[in-house]
Amino acid sequence: MSSLLHHLDQGQGRPLVILHGLFGTLDNWQTLGRRWATEAGLRVISVDLRNHGRSFQSPDHSYELMAQDVLALFDHLSLGDDVSLMGHSMGGKVAMRFALSHPERLARLLVFDISPRYSDMEHQTDIIAGLRAVPLATLESRQQADEAMAQHIPQPTVRQFLLKNLYRRDDHSFDWRINVAVLAESMEAVGEEITAAQPFLKPTLFVRGGKSNYITAEDKLHDIPALFPNSQVETVVDAGHWLHAEKPEEVFQLVQAFVKQ
């Protein structure tokens, strides 16, 4: 299987590379990606990270490796140094890791609702339990999968998001596109703090949901400026962690303005 990340390349203009969050796929950003390509005149490259979507599965899952995967994709697409790299949540940490390791490959960085500090992944325990509760071997419908997950995950919106990863194989049996076993083992690595000897000096935009606690006042004062001194933090009012789904118009405008400045 190819070790090149599965991606969707659309539009022409200045490149914007988009990295999804944990248990996500490039489809999560499809509606906005299409708009940035058509209305904002950008070349939008949406990516499935390793162990997610249609990209390769691997027993190893770390920010160092995910940043290397993205670098290989940059090389494959012959991207220059005028790239805007954007990531949400886990994808935001991949983007930070990449920017700090390969600053010469980027023009600017955009990070959605995550800070560089260590993230406690305790809240993912129920999600892992819900994913594991789905009886893939005997599963007959998505409805049945939803009911199995509901024992652990009460929020219908979270279940719907996760069920986007469920697909039918050629023999009509069901399987996950996400590598549930490896991701379950890798939660500590997904929560890892992003550190670096040298800060990333280029323009950086952090966008937080007003109802989300993933970026705190402490992060804004200390953690973010320490690594990203040329950064600004914008808040999307009345949005939670999934700000791009909840407030797509605000997110569209913020990104367009920042990338085109």
Could you give the residue numbers annotated as active site? Answer: 89, 241
The two tokens of residue 138 are 């005997």
Dihedral of CA atoms 157, 69, 192, 222 in degrees, nearest 10, equals: -100
At residue 43, what are phi and psi to the nearest 5 degrees?
-90, 115
Cβ neighbors of 170 (< 8 A, separation 6 or more) are: none
Q: How far apart are CA 72 and CA 203, in angstroms?
A: 23
Residue-by-residue DSSP string for 197-225: SS---S-EEEEEETT--SS-HHIIIIIHH
β 174-176/166-168 pair status: antiparallel
111 backbone dihedrals φ, ψ, rounded to 5°: -125, 125
